Structure formats: structure tokens, C-alpha cells
Amino acid sequence: MLDFYIIEDHARTPLTPDQLEAMWAGALDERTFYNLRQKGVIGGRYDYHIDFRWDTDVVLQIQQKIKIGGIEYDTDVQRLVVVLDAAEKQRSGLMAFAD
């Protein structure tokens, strides 16, 4: 699983979730992640097996892409929206940790 944690944009990038004083926002399985990449929701530079970070602006850009594309009812997209909404409510970005 790819676990997402809420992280403030100005916070240092941690090496592990244990170093992060943040709340868990959700997770995506590998199939869902690659489906989202194939659909163009997640950029091709992100890899399921490598930790990455999205700042608040990236979270908002992905949300816009979903709304403009009219794909908010797609099953894979709905799983990601839960994670994105958690970050938006906290006005923060996301840190993804690969298992």
C-alpha cells in the first residue's frame, strides 16, 4: 500500500512516517495508483514504489483536473479524492510512503 500523510508545506520532508507528526490521510493500492496514472490523474513521474510529496498546490491541481475531467464518480478517482479532501481540509499537502 501507498500510505498518505498530511504534511504542511513548510515542514521538512521526513524519511519515515514515524518522523512525521501528522495524521494519516488514506492509502492507495498498486492497481488503483497505476489506473490513476493511466487516466492522467496522477503524473507519470510519480512511482508507487518510491516515496513522494505533493504540496498544497499540487493537491489543488489534481482536484481541479478531476473536476474539469468530469471523472469524480470513477471508482479509482473516488479513492484518491478521500485522500485529497483530507489534505484540503487541513490546508496542507501530502507525503506518500511506499511500503
CATH number of the domain within which 49 lies: 3.40.1760.20
At 51-64, the pLDDT tens digits run: 999 999 999 999 99
Instruction: Give the domain extent around 43.
Output: 2-98
Q: Is the pLDDT of residue 32 over 90?
A: yes
Phi/psi region, residue 91 (left: phi>0; alpha: psi -120 to 50; beta: rest), is left
| Contact of 39 with 76, CB cutoff 8 Å | yes
Tell me what pLDDT residue 34 has.
97
Instruction: Count how many domains the chain has.
Output: 1
Q: According to the model, what pLDDT value does residue 25 have?
A: 96
Question: What amino acid occupies position 82?
Answer: V
What is the structure's pLDDT at 16?
A: 75
> How much is the mean pLDDT over the chain?
93
Determine the straight-line distance between the first and last CA of the chain, rounded to whole angstroms. Answer: 6
* Cα separation, 81 vs 59, whole angstroms: 10
